[in-house]
Every structure is written in structure tokens, then in C-alpha cells.
Amino acid sequence: QRFSPDAVCFLKELLCRLVQARFLGREQSLLSRCSFSRIRVLDSTAFSLPMQFSEGYAGPVSSGVKVQWEYDLLSGDFLYGAVREGKENDASYAKETMGNILPNDLFIRDLGYFSTKFLKEADQCGAFYVTRFKSNMKIYRKENDVFHEIDPVQLGEKLLPGKSMEVLDIYLGV
């Protein structure tokens, strides 16, 4: 009863303005030097609700809500915000964002959003991503039409502290 549609719009606008005010300071000047068109950060938070809301907001156990937010670090704009049932997983929302991928977008997402279908779509659109991948995934390189598995632990052991390595043209599979 307290969260009418007008109240929800008000709270969304308030949250957007607070986060924009926080990020549009000195951090913004550093980000403006990036070659990405957008730096898209997507995450969610979930919380339980009283049982009286279980009919409209089913959670993993009883009643719950999940709030999805996507934010562009470069412009300070919120790209999307949604309130969903708490039982919905993050990967199902990730599928909904596939229609608005632009060239040179950088996606930063955690493991809950991992989807090889999304990664393929982003790559085909000329976008980039930073993500963890599922532990059962394997990494391959293709040489002379033969796929060779790469052991990321073995690669990491060769690096000196503070150094990094770029491995181009990899394939993911199970």
C-alpha cells in the first residue's frame, strides 16, 4: 500500500540521482579517456519480504524481491532498473539485455550473469566483456583446425607477480 507506482518512480529517480552524484566527480575524468562507448555494470540485490507478499513476489524459500540495475560508468546514466520476483536468477535477465548491445560497449558482470550465448552476441556486435566463467568451462585455442585445451592455472604460474597475459582467439566449451 505504501509503494504506489508514483512512490516507486520517486524512489528510482532518487536512487539514480544519488548514484550519479557519487560517480560524476573525479572518477569520471579518468573514465572519459577510455576507448569504450559505454562501460556497462550490471548487478542485482535480493531481499526477503513478509509472507503477505508471497503471491506477487515469490522468493527462493518464501517471499522475496530481486532488484536488477544496469549502470553506464561513462555517462552516469542508468540503463535499466527492474524489480522482479526473488526466485528469478540473474542469467534470465542477462538474456533481456542482448537486444541493446552497441559496438565498443564494455560489459562488467559477475558469474551469475554468465552466458556463452551472450558472450557470442557481444563479440559479434563488436563489444567487450569482463566476467568470470563457470568452473566447468574449458578454454581452447584452435591451431591448424585442431582445438587444444589451455590450462589457466598453468598459464598463471608462468607470470611474475603484478604481470598479466593476453590470450587471443580462445574458445569456451564444456
- Using the 8-state DSSP alphabet, how is residue 103 labeled? T
The answer to whether 95 and 81 have CB atoms below 8 angstroms apart is no
Neighbours of 133 (CB within 10 A): 14
C-alpha cell at 81: 532498473
C-alpha cell at 42: 550490471
The answer to whether 45 and 15 have CB atoms below 8 angstroms apart is no
Q: Among candidates 85, 82, 81, which has minimal Cα distance to 57?
A: 85
Query: 160 CB contacts (<8 Å, ≥6 apart)?
Result: none
Neighbours of 102 (CB within 10 A): 12
Local confidence pLDDT in tens for the 174 residues of the chain: 456 777 777 777 777 777 666 666 555 555 556 788 998 998 888 888 877 777 777 766 677 888 888 888 888 888 888 888 877 888 877 777 778 899 999 999 888 888 888 888 999 999 998 887 778 888 899 888 899 999 888 888 888 888 888 887 888 887
Q: What is the pLDDT of residue 125?
A: 94
Predicted TM-score of the model (pTM)? 0.71
The answer to whether 112 and 103 have CB atoms below 8 angstroms apart is no
Q: What is the pLDDT of residue 136?
A: 85
